[in-house]
A and B are shown apart, each in its own frame.
Chain A
């Protein structure tokens, strides 16, 4: 079988330890929830109206489940996770696989997030594909797994996230 030194180098990061915990900038809060709902056109009242949230069995206003990942995203000047995934990404970029698209996202929510929950996340590289030919170009798929916990250490959500790092095809 043909050997692929880049695959060998990148997949070695599967043995890297998980990232240090990345804390959310702020506890789950109404302004960020409202911003999210506005952008997505989501008018479900439990995200902005405490009475509606309580009537649905929640302790207070809750965050849309799909916003889980947003709370610990890096900013313009701050870094996010440093783990096997980010090291693998850097090596792929150095080797010319500099374009990225997300291809799969699987999120499990153990409970709804409510105002005041302060999340932190820990991420780890879970899998590296061999070199693939795709419609976008030649590249490698990286899959990371992330655990989200609240300020008490309770596991509130989990995510598996796959990205393709590729060399863009020359455009005709």
Chain B
């Protein structure tokens, strides 16, 4: 079954902790100090460490395939970062189908919001749905 345009994805709540930020940074081999070193982050004008974009990308991909399932193929992820994910905050991912084609091409708009505003907005394109 192809999803209808406008269909909502179940939301995913991600608690933002220092451990989770560092785990994502290491798994994506991103050693920029602002993702693990609080004094270094402060020296660069940030109140705390913050999540790296590769981890955000990982969560966006996971969020969409949690819903789409193992038959789906992600063909494109395009994201824009807004406010940072700082420790102590919570990111809530929501999404909706914005395109659904007969050939199984589906596009989902994704938003990850935290206490400061939109951390991430973007789109994920999938193939192979409804087969």
Contacts and interface: CB of A to CB of B under 8 A. Distances in A.
Interface of A: 35-36, 38-46, 52, 55-57, 64-67, 69-70, 73-76, 98-109, 112, 136-137, 168-169, 171
Specify the main secondary structure of chain B where it touches its partner. mixed
Given A46-B70, A64-B58, A107-B77, A169 B45 contact: yes
Interface string B45-89: 110000011110111111001100011011111111100100000
B118 interface: no
29 contacts: A36-B28, A39-B27, A39-B28, A40-B62, A41-B59, A41-B62, A42-B61, A42-B62, A46-B70, A56-B70, A57-B71, A57-B128, A65-B77, A66-B74, A69-B28, A75-B29, A98-B44, A101-B81, A102-B53, A104-B78, A104-B81, A105-B57, A105-B77, A105-B78, A106-B76, A106-B79, A107-B57, A168-B44, A171-B45
A70 B59 CA distance: 14
Mostly, the A contact residues are mixed
Determine which residue in A40, A70, A107 has the highest number of CB atoms from chain B within 10 A of its CB, and name it.
Answer: A40
A17 B71 CA distance: 39
Nearest to A25: B29
B112 interface: no
Nearest to B74: A65
Nearest to B52: A102
A100 B41 CA distance: 11
Contact of A40 (B55, B70, B78): B55
B81 A70 contact: no
B23 interface: yes
A73 B73 CA distance: 24
Most chain B Cβ neighbours within 10 Å, of A56, A74, A76: A56
A38 B23 contact: yes
